[in-house]
Amino acid sequence: MPNEAAPLVVDLAERRYPIHISSGLLDRAGAVLAPLLPRPLVLLVTDSNVARTPHLGRLETSLAAAGIEVRRLVVVPGESSKSLEAYGRLVEAMLATGIDRKTTVLALGGGVIGDLAGFAAATALRGLPFVQVPTSLLAQVDSSVGGKTGINSQHGKNLIGAFHQPIAVLIDVDVLDDLPERELLAGYAEVIKHGCLADADYFAWLEANAAAMLAGDPALRLEAIRRSVEIKAAVVAEDERETTGRRALLNFGHTFAHAYEALTGYGDRLLHGEAVALGMVKAARLSAALGLAPEADAERLEAHLASLDIATDPRRLLNQGFPVDAVIEAMTRDKKAEAGALRFVLWHGIGKAFLTGGVELSTLQTILAADA
């Protein structure tokens, strides 16, 4: 596979933007971004964990070499930064630097940083240009693409936010080399999700290649990330603001996952990708229980995740189950619910996801009770 292919494009008419995917991209970021910025000024938002890695220095050096001024803001790492309080502190700090509407906000970090900085960019001065430079596998294949930004509420995950498309996404696969194994495996849940919802051939390719990809094979990482991003970019281009139901397919497993995250307090006990892995297995099992998909496909997904040591049962991951009534109550607060009625992304089998409502409560209770 060539080291650098042509960028992918999210085709949203006047809001279309490129997604660059390659190795060594942080060192070329200045040259890539300079023609895209309204003025050569970047407000770089990252967290203290990323700030301790070489990634920040490489990026800032590259931007400076291209004549781009960088003003850095560092926030606390972790899901706690996706709060109204942390958002308010960030926006006030941004305004204190003397930004104007041609200042570009650049998010360097994982999904939390992208969501937080993106929402700040969407709202400060009624909207600032925005660039995503994701440093986790989850952010590279999912949250950095598509323009969803936001923070959590005490009532649920990502309930406060805005659609705000970036002007570019820069994905350097080299940053995964020092990503902790737990985060790498959590991010992989969003990789296999794309095969689950839209591409059975990609699912099969991952069955054959995921172990080597996760172990560090650079060509396989490039291929997996690029295919996942292709799938997501195509869905976003068809349904940018989730009005037709097409984009909702990207939430395969997430109705369960968001409930699990709420019940564990949005902290490090349960990472988002870990919750998604649990949720996808539940969605597959529910599909089979409803007679909508083969049980064998649910077993295939569960076996694949287990082969990579990705937990498919919360009791193994957390040493506890989730009370059925508590999970259902948390689900009703999810933003995908309508008038309190639950909607699920289920499948007719691998690669054939669909959005539905009207799931019998008794069937849902039976599925949830299996690991309560």
Nearest to 317 by CA among 365, 273, 362: 273
Which of 20, 221, 227, 247 is catalytic? The answer is 247
Tell me, yes or no, if 158 is annotated catalytic. Answer: no
Which of 242, 261, 274, 302 is catalytic? The answer is 242
End-to-end CA distance of the chain: 45
Tell me, yes or no, if 251 is annotated catalytic. Answer: yes
Q: Are 371 and 365 in contact (CB under 8 A)?
A: no
Which of 82, 232, 343, 352 is catalytic? The answer is 232
Tell me, yes or no, if 148 is annotated catalytic. Answer: yes
Tell me, yes or no, if 164 is annotated catalytic. Answer: no
Which of 20, 55, 58, 148 is catalytic? The answer is 148
Tell me, yes or no, if 299 is annotated catalytic. Answer: no
Which of 55, 193, 258, 304 is catalytic? The answer is 258
How far apart CA 245 and CA 238 sit, in angstroms, is 10
- Specify the 3-state DSSP secondary structure of 270: coil
DSSP for 35-82 reads TT-SSSEEEEEEEHHHHTSHHHHHHHHHHHHTT-EEEEEEE--SGGGS
Nearest to 26 by CA among 173, 180, 147: 173
Tell me, yes or no, if 246 is annotated catalytic. Answer: no
Which of 55, 226, 272, 282 is catalytic? The answer is 272
Amino acid at 285: R
Which of 20, 28, 55, 254 is catalytic? The answer is 254
How far apart CA 144 and CA 156 sit, in angstroms, is 21
Which of 55, 226, 251, 352 is catalytic? The answer is 251
Tell me, yes or no, if 304 is annotated catalytic. Answer: no
In sequence order, which ranges of the chain are alpha helices (DSSP H)? 29-33, 48-51, 54-65, 84-96, 111-123, 137-138, 181-198, 200-215, 218-238, 254-263, 272-289, 295-307, 314-318, 324-332, 361-369
Tell me, yes or no, if 126 is annotated catalytic. Answer: yes
Residues 6+ apart with CB under 8 A from 231: 194, 197, 198, 199, 202
Tokens 């809001």 correspond to 15
Tell me, yes or no, if 190 is annotated catalytic. Answer: yes
Which of 60, 190, 261, 302 is catalytic? The answer is 190
Question: Among all residues, which ones are annotated catalytic?
Answer: 126, 148, 190, 232, 242, 247, 251, 254, 258, 272
